[in-house]
Amino acid sequence: MHMNYDFDRLISRRGTNALAEDGFENYLFGADAPAPELDVPREELISMWVADMQFAAPDAAIDAISERLKHPVFGYTMNFDDQLYQAFHAWCAERYDWRFAREDMLVALGVIPALFGLVEYVCRPGDKVLSLTPAYGYFKHATVQRDREFVTSRLLASDDGGYAIDFDDFETKVSDPAVKLFFLCHPHNPTGRVWTDDELRRMGELCIANGVKIVSDEIHCDLLRTGTRHTPLARLFPGSRDIITCMAVSKTFNLAGMMIATVIVPDPALRSEWKRRHYPFVNPLSLAAAAGAYRNGAPWLDELRSYLDANFAWTQRFLNEHLPKARFRIPDATYLAWVDLRAYFDESVNLTRFFLEKAGVILEGGEMFVENGACRIRLNLACPRTQVQRSLEKIRDAILRFDKRPDRR
């Protein structure tokens, strides 16, 4: 395939206030944790953690921002007109055969603020929110910081790196009358699973039968491996008012710092509640960027996806050859590699700290994902291939040094 976009270019983000490079200590270890003892100079750390990309955003977004900049007033802005709806709705219809009314679409300052809001609008204090683990950390944060209880159903890991839902356990948990909301992550971060239509139907039916609303966080839905198509949960339940869908340009087009997301809420009562309570403004540049990206960003995204496919293929070959006891399966979606290192480590090792200190690679160990992630690491492969290669070599060297320690024999 001929490439029109240069995903091989290494772009330094130094001096841009990037969380990926400057904010990892606080995020990964907490404000009061001891400072890491680095074996390499700080400038040489390789960032493979937070879920944004090291790639330039598509011109489709940048040009739309430039166009908006020609108007010199940046006052309070809301999503009044139909431009974002038209671009985004056409995207959903074309790519996932999914349609919804203009009035169903709300706009938030990102999926995270939407999660915090929805916990409050759907549940009372003391109610419970269910999710599958390992889980994206903010599902738990949004729940407990709003005084709701977080309950979990553990995914079942198989020896080849696959994951499945434990439906017996899920059914038990979802039928607790205190559970009012289910946070579904589809595709799933961190495992990369795309839930099948059967799995989606089963989860959806169990929730609906038990009066549990579903927030389907589909933020990774545009990053499926080439040749496969995303099915929004809501598409399988036409007419249902119980499913809230979150999507965003953050992951798809690397615009997380723009802070904008679309939330599709078919229930008019919940929409009214949202409108009464939710912070209503958006950044005018973000609104322009999102509409522009959905309107004109498809060619960039399609090329990005094949670049990511190749990064995964490279990673799989490398692991097979150099770390044969690691268990890894190329994920159905996302740019996140979830690698099982149980053969090399036990649960006593904090892998986030280990790889930071011993390999100079900033990554997220399984402990970052609520529970059920022990001895795994999550690597963000949305970066130039040379960076994937360098980081994996450093990871390998650190593991082999650790494996050879005399006390390991």
Q: By C-beta, is 312 or 345 nearer to ligand PLP?
A: 312
Of 132, 185, 293, 395, the residue at the interface with ligand PLP (CB under 6 A) is: 185
Shortest Å distance, C-beta 204 to ligand PLP = 18
Question: Contact region for ligand PLP (CB under 6 A) — 8-16, 25-33, 109-117, 370-378?
Answer: 109-117
Shortest Å distance, C-beta 188 to ligand PLP = 8
Nearest to 308 by CA among 365, 384, 256: 384
> Phi and psi (nearest 5°) for 248?
-165, 160
Q: By C-beta, is 288 or 323 nearer to ligand PLP?
A: 288
Q: Are 290 and 65 in contact (CB under 8 A)?
A: no
Question: Contact region for ligand PLP (CB under 6 A) — 70-78, 110-118, 158-166, 390-398?
Answer: 110-118
CA–CA distance, 407 with 409 (Å, rounded to integer):
5
Footprint (CB under 6 A) of ligand PLP, residues 246-275: 248, 250, 256, 261
Within 8 A by CB and 6+ apart from 373, the residues are 133, 134, 190, 365, 366, 367
Say if residue 190 is preceded by a cis peptide, omega within 30 of 0.
yes
Question: Contact region for ligand PLP (CB under 6 A) — 107-115, 118-126, 227-235, 262-270?
Answer: 107-115
| Binding mask of the shown chain, residues 124 to 143, with x at each position contacting ligand PLP by CB under 6 A | ------------x-------
Shortest Å distance, C-beta 257 to ligand PLP = 9
Question: Contact region for ligand PLP (CB under 6 A) — 31-39, 88-96, 106-114, 319-327?
Answer: 106-114
Does 189 bind ligand PLP (CB under 6 A)? Our answer is yes
Shortest Å distance, C-beta 283 to ligand PLP = 13
Q: By C-beta, is 368 or 388 nearer to ligand PLP?
A: 368
Q: Are 29 and 36 in contact (CB under 8 A)?
A: yes
Q: Are 252 and 61 in contact (CB under 8 A)?
A: no
Does 112 bind ligand PLP (CB under 6 A)? Our answer is yes
Does 110 bind ligand PLP (CB under 6 A)? Our answer is yes
The single-letter DSSP state of residue 236 is G
Q: Checking DSSP bridges between strand 213-217 and strand 243-248, what pairing results, if any?
A: parallel
| Binding mask of the shown chain, residues 33 to 52, with x at each position contacting ligand PLP by CB under 6 A | ------------------x-
Nearest to 190 by CA among 338, 49, 331, 330: 338
CA–CA distance, 384 with 388 (Å, rounded to integer):
7
Does 217 bind ligand PLP (CB under 6 A)? Our answer is yes
Q: SS3 helix, strand, coil % of the chain, rounded to 5?
A: 45, 15, 40
Query: Facing residues of 379 across strands?
Result: 337
Q: By C-beta, is 256 or 398 nearer to ligand PLP?
A: 256
Q: By C-beta, is 49 or 344 nearer to ligand PLP?
A: 49
Nearest to 157 by CA among 395, 369, 335, 323: 369
Report the interface residues with ligand PLP, using CB under 6 A: 51, 110-112, 136, 185, 189, 217, 219, 248, 250, 256, 261
